[in-house]
Amino acid sequence: MISVPVELGDRRYDVVVGGGARHRLADVVESSVPGASRAAVVTQEGIGVEVDPGIPADRFLVPDGEAAKSLTVVEELCRGLARAGVSRSDVIVAVGGGVVTDLAGFAAASFHRGTAYVNVATSLLGQVDAAVGGKTGVNLPEGKNLVGAFWQPRAVLCDTEVLDSLPPREWASGRGEMAKYAFLGSGPGTDRGPDSSLLDLPLDEQVARCVAIKADVVASDEREGHRRMVLNYGHTLAHALEATAFDPDAGWDLRHGEAVAIGLVFAGQLARRLGRIDDRREELHRRVVGGFDLSPLLPHDADPERLVSFMARDKKAHHDLTFVLDGPDGVEVVHGVDRATVVATLAAMDRSSPGDQV
């Protein structure tokens, strides 16, 4: 097992990575939530991962898919917790991917104005990113993750053994976030450049390296005052694509990490158009994304103007268009980007063909 600490003072916790990590849940609950006498296990029907929190537990199922991340589902879950008699001293255990950990984490932050929770991440995306760092939230029709809270888990268990059953597109979704970390784990102050060599490591080490990069950023800027915004590299367009896909007329189906991969390529092209990087560095974004076996293509019918309208609602924006972009000092936050430049960059991107499954 590999243990990666998230250093947040008296709210410090460990992310445990390795095959069979879920079997440590009872010990984790006992040590990190010592007053808990009852657990609420939040999961989805198709997850199929059994856990034992070591204390009496109730099981709560939430719907599948991104649509589950809604205020309606949070209300239903919290009402279920209340009916089950879950108290503020008990513990919520999220068992699933990013949808479950985001949703259950937000419910934990809200129920009794704050209830302890532990994440048991069962997807690659959840293990390398979503389950770590305490950002919880749900979506609105107007955009992704616009309602939420910073609420740190007491522990995160990343059981790589359960990843064996993931379908190919769930692997792709996790690799989109890993491609992001290839950029964040390189640059000034490091001895390596962004590439896909992360995939050459054993799986446990791949996950642990991504977690360590995120943990370092979170420890320095827990509430996204500035540095933590770099964790959104590739996400401004990704979230816009996901929000637009809520429209029933949208002609594409993108997993989160697939959208992030497209967002990374867009970020490289936007940075080049702004003169922040050169042609070689822009092309590197495409090569890294390809190295993770991900598509760089924008959906063929994605409307640049509509995408930009969603980007303007992004959480890191300050009443302007704000992006995380590469540059001479590495990846950093850039405010006040001209709308016409963003639209022109989107319009110039390579696109998938009509009828392609994106």
pLDDT at position 295, please?
96
Catalytic residue among 222, 224, 242, 282: 224
Q: Quick count: other Cβ atoms within 10 Å of Cβ 102?
A: 26
Q: Quick count: other Cβ atoms within 10 Å of Cβ 16?
A: 22
Environment class of residue 258 by beta-carbon count within 10 Å: exposed (0-12), middle (13-18) or buried (19+)?
A: buried
Specify whether 272 is catalytic: no
Q: Is the pLDDT of residue 186 over 90?
A: no
Q: Is 16 helix (H, G, I), strand (E, B) or coil?
A: strand
Provide the phi-psi class of 29: left if phi over 0, else alpha when psi is between -120 and 50, else beta: alpha
Specify whether 232 is catalytic: yes
User: Higher model confidence: residue 142 or residue 186?
Assistant: 142
Catalytic residue among 22, 69, 144, 235: 235
Catalytic residue among 144, 209, 232, 285: 232
Mean predicted confidence (pLDDT) in 54-81: 96
Specify whether 214 is catalytic: yes
Point out the least confidently predicted range of 145-149, 347-351, 353-357: 353-357
User: Higher model confidence: residue 332 or residue 252?
Assistant: 332
User: Higher model confidence: residue 109 or residue 314?
Assistant: 109
For the chain, list the strands marked E by DSSP: 2-6, 13-17, 39-43, 57-61, 91-96, 116-121, 135-140, 143-150, 155-158, 323-325, 332-334
Count how many residues are written for the chain.
358
The token pair that represents 347 in the structure block? 């319009």
pLDDT at position 192, please?
66
Structural domains of the chain sorted by starting position, each given as residue range(s) with its CATH number in brackets: 2-165 (3.40.50.1970), 222-348 (1.20.1090.10)
Q: What is the mean pLDDT of the chain?
A: 94
Element (H, E) at 136: strand 135-140
Point out the least confidently predicted range of 63-77, 171-185, 235-249: 235-249
Q: Count the helices and strands in the chain (H runs, E runs).
A: 11, 11
Specify whether 180 is catalytic: no
CA dihedral 154, 158, 126, 173 (to 10 degrees): 170
Q: Is the pLDDT of residue 246 over 90?
A: no
- CA-closest candidate to residue 158, choices 275, 16, 271: 16
User: Higher model confidence: residue 358 or residue 346?
Assistant: 346
- CA-closest candidate to residue 58, choices 29, 26, 27, 90: 90
pLDDT at position 355, please?
60
Catalytic residue among 177, 222, 282, 332: 177
Specify whether 113 is catalytic: yes
Specify whether 305 is catalytic: no
Point out the least confidently predicted range of 96-105, 233-242, 246-255: 246-255
- CA-closest candidate to residue 122, choices 152, 144, 99: 99
pTM: 0.92
Catalytic residue among 22, 144, 154, 256: 256
Catalytic residue among 144, 154, 180, 239: 239
- CA-closest candidate to residue 267, choices 155, 336, 349, 188: 349
Measured distance between the N- and C-terminal CA atoms of the chain, rounded to whole angstroms: 36
Catalytic residue among 113, 223, 280, 319: 113
What residues contact residue 21 under an 8 Å CB cut-off, 6+ apart?
1, 157, 158, 159, 160, 161
Q: Is the pLDDT of residue 189 over 60?
A: no
Rounded to whole angstroms, the Cα distance separating 159 from 286 reads 31
Specify whether 256 is catalytic: yes
Mean predicted confidence (pLDDT) in 304-332: 88
Specify whether 224 is catalytic: yes
